């Protein structure tokens, strides 16, 4: 029977095999037989992931849940907003980026109360900037 756990097991097993067949041989230097072999742990991780993926397929429990489509869409929106913010940070500096991120959050959360919206939009970025750059003397750009 196909259920969420079993599908996850297939994905895990697939990744484990990819790791063993392609990623480890291509991106890790192997010195077989040497106690210092750099590929020992990546290979061990590959075998573990493959074996456990197989175990999950075989021993899958009925049921299991997956995130709702609407929730997943919201998650993707936040991740995209964060990614864009990270990309633009070196170009625009922290405060404009932080305000942009807060606007995106307010839009995604549909906050309409002016006082709380203003707090999120102005006070929060300024507080974070003040904490890191003034109190802790860490550069944010």
Q: Contacts with another protein in 34-73 (CB under 8 A)? A: 35-42, 44-46, 48-49, 52-53, 55-56, 59, 61, 64-67, 70-71
CB of 21 vs another protein, minimal distance in Å: 15
Applying CB under 8 A, the site for another protein has a residue count of: 72
Q: Is 1 in the site for another protein (CB under 8 A)?
A: no
Cα-based distances in Å from 8 to 11, 12, 71, 94, 100: 5, 6, 19, 39, 36
CB 63 within 8 A of CB 4: yes
Residues 86-105 that bind another protein (CB under 8 A): 86-87, 89-90, 94, 98, 101-102, 105
CA 64 to chain CA mean position, Å:
21
Q: Is 21 in the site for another protein (CB under 8 A)?
A: no
CB 124 within 8 A of CB 99: no
- Exposed, middle or buried, 45 (CB in 10 Å: 0-12/13-18/19+)? middle
Hey, is 60 helix, strand or coil? coil
CB of 55 vs another protein, minimal distance in Å: 5
Q: Is 22 in the site for another protein (CB under 8 A)?
A: no
- Phi, then psi, of 18 in degrees rounded to 5: -60, -40
Q: Is 122 in the site for another protein (CB under 8 A)?
A: no
CB of 120 vs another protein, minimal distance in Å: 5
Query: Binder to another protein among 22, 78, 93, 122 (CB under 8 A)?
Result: 78
């Amino acid at each position: 029977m196909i259920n969420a756990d079993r599908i996850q097991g297939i994905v895990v097993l697939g990744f484990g095999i990819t790791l063993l067949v392609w990623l480890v041989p291509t991106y890790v230097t192997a010195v077989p037989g040497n106690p210092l072999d750099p590929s020992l742990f990546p290979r061990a991780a590959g075998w573990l992931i493959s074996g456990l993926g197989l175990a999950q397929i075989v021993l899958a429990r009925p049921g299991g849940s997956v995130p709702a489509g609407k929730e997943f869409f919201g998650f993707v929106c936040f991740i995209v907003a964060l990614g864009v913010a990270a990309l633009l940070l070196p170009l625009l500096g922290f405060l404009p980026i932080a305000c942009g991120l807060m606007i995106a959050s307010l839009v995604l959360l549909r906050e309409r109360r002016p006082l709380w919206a203003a707090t999120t939009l102005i006070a929060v970025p300024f507080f974070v900037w003040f904490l890191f750059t003034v109190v802790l003397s860490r550069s944010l750009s």
